[in-house]
Structure 1
Amino acid sequence: MAGSRQETRAEPSTADREIVISRVVDAPRELVFEAFTEVRHLSNWWGPEGFTTTTRSFEFREGGEWVFVLHGPDGTDYPEWIRWVRIAAPERIALLHGEFRDDPNAFESAITFAPEGAAATRIEMRTVFPTKELRDEAVEKFHAVEGGRQTLDNLAAYVAETLRKGTES
């Protein structure tokens, strides 16, 4: 075809800078999304095993922020900050996560909530770090993969307990 031209642009691969964790939660998507987006729920399950969360401020809207402290089982406090970048309820949340506002090492995460069968939800957390080195540090020093899995396990247990309580009322 004379005059027609196709241009292909190679997108930079993020595979060496990313962590992907997923889990099926035995609850409807709307309930799982609610547990992930309302501070009254988040504070009860967020973080790996043995960690607790204290929220300083929370505003769930695009551009809003969640400022909180993760308290480690050894007594160490970890300041945390999240800005909600994009919200498409109940399917997807995109966020920026660092230790503080304007953290140069903040990473991007996309969380998707997909129906799985009649009454379950597949949640996937896809996190992309600014550099491979920051991703490797998160994996090796902070055990991000294991911690992410434990966090989703905590979510599943919390949602199951919430559902159980809801059916007993």
Structure 2
Amino acid sequence: MEAITKTAEETADNELAITRILNAPIELVWEVWTDPKHIAQWWGPIGFFTTIQHMEIKEGGEWDLVMHGPDGVEYKNKNIFSKVIKPELIVFKHVTPPIFTATITFKKQDAKTELTMKMVFESATDYSLAINKHGAKEGQKQTIARLKDYVENI
């Protein structure tokens, strides 16, 4: 059965959300989201690679990473986790502009996992910066597609 997909789309004036069904158990999907050695293999749009500098998955924990673009530009990112419920929920605030809060939910569906990622931007300016300058709509789709490919093939 083909995965049910909602494309990255605004759910409000400042939100971007995507849902995918992954052909992998929830425990494995959780692991590839929370283990730096795994997340570095799929995080970011096609053509990017990611260096995880620090990742502490707990409430108040920090996640520092650098996304390396195909054009050689480096994008430093800092996130702070505000809620972590294994294996159901991760919430973090992206504190490097553009500012947003990401909510990732994991729902068990037999041997598969329904994953939803929602990004809520703090302002219309941050939303516009993410969409227009950083290509967040397409970037979110590609990142989750890379996750799907990775988790279904490890």
Superposed pair shares fold, TM > 0.5? yes
Q: Which residue of 1 aligns with 2:149?
A: 157
> Partner letter of residue 124 of structure 1?
T
Q: 1:130 aligns with which of 104, 122, 135?
A: 122
TM-score normalised to structure 1 length = 0.81
Matched, 1:109 2:96: no
Give the SS at the match of 1:47.
coil
Count of residue correspondences: 144
Asked if structure 2 preserves the Cα contact closer than 8 Å seen for 1:21 and 1:145, the reply is no
Bigger Rg, which one: 1
Superposition misfits of 4+ residues, deviation over 3 angstroms = none
Give the SS at the match of 2:152.
helix
Matched, 1:69 2:62: no
Q: What are the equivalent positions in structure 2 for 1:1-169 lying under 5 Å apart?
A: 15-99=12-96, 105-116=98-109, 118-162=110-154
TM-score normalised to structure 2 length = 0.88
More helix by share: 1
> Partner letter of residue 60 of structure 2?
G
- In structure 1, runs of 5+ residues without a counterpart are 1-13, 163-169
| Percent sequence identity over aligned pairs | 40
> Partner letter of residue 73 of structure 2?
T
Per-residue deviation, 1:98: 3.0
CA distance in 2, matches of 1:130, 1:157: 31
